[in-house]
Amino acid sequence: MSFEEAMKELEATVGRLEHGEATLEESIKLYERGAALRAHCDKRLREAEERVEKITLAANGQPTGTVPAEGL
């Protein structure tokens, strides 16, 4: 599931919880699903952050390559 798909479902889940018409059992299941979706989104964000790279530039301002974010 992509980050965007998970966020969309998470927003819908939160909306259903906030609306307050679910039974207690439904609310618990919605909360559990929301927690799982949040964890998925957090994981996807961490993965994306690890892939962020800094573009290195030559003296003339032209890109010469990339450096992993950890090297910043």
Burial of residue 27 (CB within 10 Å: 0-12, 13-18, 19+) is middle
Residue the block writes with tokens 């992993």: 68
Average pLDDT over residues 7-22: 94
- CB < 8 Å & 24+ apart, contacts of 12-21: 13/37
Q: Is the pLDDT of residue 6 over 90?
A: yes
Q: What is the pLDDT of residue 12?
A: 96
Q: What is the pLDDT of residue 50?
A: 72
Q: What is the pTM of this model?
A: 0.69
Q: For 20, which DSSP code?
A: T
pLDDT in tens, 25-54: 999 999 999 999 999 999 999 888 776 666
Measured CA to CA, the distance from residue 42 to residue 49 in angstroms comes to 11
Measured CA to CA, the distance from residue 38 to residue 6 in angstroms comes to 8
